[in-house]
Amino acid sequence: MENELKIEKPEIKEKEPKISYHILYGAHRTAEDFKKLKEALEKADVYVPEMVGWNLGGALIFNSLSMGAITPEQMAEIYQIKQDSPYFKICETIYNSKKPILFADISRNHELLQERRLNIGSFNLALSLFRRGEFPLALKVIRGSSEKLSNYFEGREKIIKQTLKNSVRQLSEEHPQLKDKKDIKVLLTLGIGHTQVYHSLKKKEESVSREFTETPFIFNFLGEIDRRHRLSKNKEISNELLAKFILDDLMIPELGEITQNSNKMIKVSRKIISKLNLKDIERISKELGENPEKTITDVLEARGVKVPKTEEEMDEMLEPKKRK
């Protein structure tokens, strides 16, 4: 019949791939911090590095590195990367892996990037004031900066979570080696401070797992302050904790001259600084102001505080040998 309705069959769409996430948490201060990256990358289909301020040109270059079109040495020349740096280690691991590289972090033009620059400037100012002996002012600057930094971290994590799913699905449609995959495994490397990304994905019932470059991994004083701002019901940050963070941030680079193990640096620094109170740290600031040529180690040892000079001494401090 002419007037008979025509029933159109619905278009059958291919089932979308299942996406699972694995997050490798750790520090990103030294090349050793990425010692587990190669093994984790071998199990993944897509790699999402933590990369603040990326742009499309950089994304193309990183994917060219992954496809073997450029070498880590060429990459280092383009971006002026030192070959003993964590970034060169990442480049070496990515090289010729044939894994698509995806950036989910804030891009170069994102408004949060300006906030990051301001935070870094404030932190550097606080450290400089501390070294000049202007302790009360250093505390005031670091207090305001620490809360703003937590807001910045939270904003970045929100962007990462929002970007992940849609970008991976788009990548699976565009990239030949992902088109026919029913399960796409995505690897993320994130700093230890971003554990909320894991918890948020888990809460959304996403398939997600995590591991740490070392266990147990110890938070530095900044990590402790950030977690109090964001997670603790008691958000009050004491002057003593802020002072310990400043001293910690000055001490870690000195310990970095001894070891490439970031977790070990943090453990030793915390062990030393935890014995000091607010008045002790104020006196250290004053002494540094009066003796600009002195290091944190010089001032601590003049006060009778033992600071390790070798990695063996660091190990002994963390795990004292039992006397026979």
- Give yes or no: residues 153 and 48 share one domain: yes
- Give yes or no: residues 168 and 297 share one domain: no
Report pLDDT for 209: 97
Q: In degrees rounded to 5, what are phi and psi of residue 39? A: -65, -40
The answer to whether the CB of 142 falls within 8 A of the CB of 149 is: no
Report pTM: 0.89
Classify residue 305 by its DSSP letter: -
- Give yes or no: residues 94 and 44 share one domain: yes
The reply to whether 319 falls in a domain is no
- Give yes or no: residues 301 and 276 share one domain: yes
Dihedral of CA atoms 180, 103, 220, 260 in degrees, nearest 10, equals 80
- Joined together, the tokens standing for residue 143 give 């207090």
Classify residue 70 by its DSSP letter: S
- Report H helices in the chain: 37-42, 56-66, 72-79, 86-94, 111-131, 135-174, 195-203, 221-231, 239-255, 262-273, 278-290, 296-302, 311-318
Q: Name the band, by pLDDT with cuts 50, 70 and 90, for residue 323.
A: very low
Q: What is the pLDDT of residues 232-242, one digit of tens each?
A: 766 789 999 99
Calculate mean pLDDT across residues 215-227: 87
Q: What is the CA radius of gyration of the chain?
A: 24
Report pLDDT for 229: 84
Structurally, the chain folds into a number of domains equal to 2
**pLDDT exceeds cutoff 90 at 136:** yes
Query: If residue 24 lies in a helix (H) or strand (E), which one and from where to where?
Result: strand 18-26
The reply to whether 229 falls in a domain is no
Calculate mean pLDDT across residues 45-58: 94
**pLDDT exceeds cutoff 60 at 6:** no
- Give yes or no: residues 198 and 272 share one domain: no
Residue whose entry in the numeric block shows the structure tokens 């600031």: 285
Measured from the Cβ of residue 53, the count of other Cβ atoms closer than 10 Å reads: 16
**pLDDT exceeds cutoff 90 at 173:** no
The reply to whether 5 falls in a domain is no
End-to-end CA distance of the chain: 102
Q: Over the chain, what is the mean pLDDT?
A: 90
- Give yes or no: residues 95 and 238 share one domain: no
Calculate mean pLDDT across residues 46-73: 95
- Give yes or no: residues 131 and 147 share one domain: no
- Give yes or no: residues 175 and 292 share one domain: no
* Of 153, 177, 212, the domain-final residue: 212
* Of 212, 243, 258, the domain-final residue: 212
The reply to whether 268 falls in a domain is yes
Q: Are strands 183-191 and 207-212 parallel, antiparallel or unpaired?
A: unpaired
* Of 149, 177, 212, the domain-final residue: 212
Q: In degrees rounded to 5, what are phi and psi of residue 102? A: -120, 135
Report pLDDT for 215: 85
Calculate mean pLDDT across residues 56-69: 95
Report pLDDT for 11: 45
For 188-218, give the DSSP string: EEEEGGGHHHHHHHHHTT-EEEEEESSSSPP
- Give yes or no: residues 206 and 178 share one domain: yes
Q: What is the pLDDT of residues 276-305, one digit of tens each?
A: 999 999 999 999 999 999 999 999 999 999
Q: How far apart are CA 284 and CA 138, in angstroms?
A: 13
Calculate mean pLDDT across residues 62-85: 94
The reply to whether 6 falls in a domain is no
User: pLDDT above 90 covers what percent of the chain?
Assistant: 74
Report pLDDT for 320: 75
The reply to whether 318 falls in a domain is no
- Give yes or no: residues 105 and 243 share one domain: no
- Give yes or no: residues 62 and 124 share one domain: no
User: pLDDT above 70 covers what percent of the chain?
Assistant: 94
The answer to whether the CB of 311 falls within 8 A of the CB of 257 is: no
Q: How far apart are CA 88 and CA 82, in angstroms?
A: 7
Q: Name the band, by pLDDT with cuts 50, 70 and 90, for residue 10.
A: very low
- Joined together, the tokens standing for residue 74 give 């060429």
Report pLDDT for 9: 47
Q: What is the pLDDT of residues 229-272, one digit of tens each?
A: 887 766 789 999 999 999 999 999 999 999 999 999 999 999 99
The reply to whether 60 falls in a domain is yes
Q: What is the pLDDT of residues 176-213, one digit of tens each?
A: 889 889 999 999 999 998 999 999 999 988 899 999 99
- Give yes or no: residues 69 and 189 share one domain: yes
Calculate mean pLDDT across residues 146-167: 90
The reply to whether 99 falls in a domain is yes
Domain assignment of residue 90, given as a range: 18-109+141-212
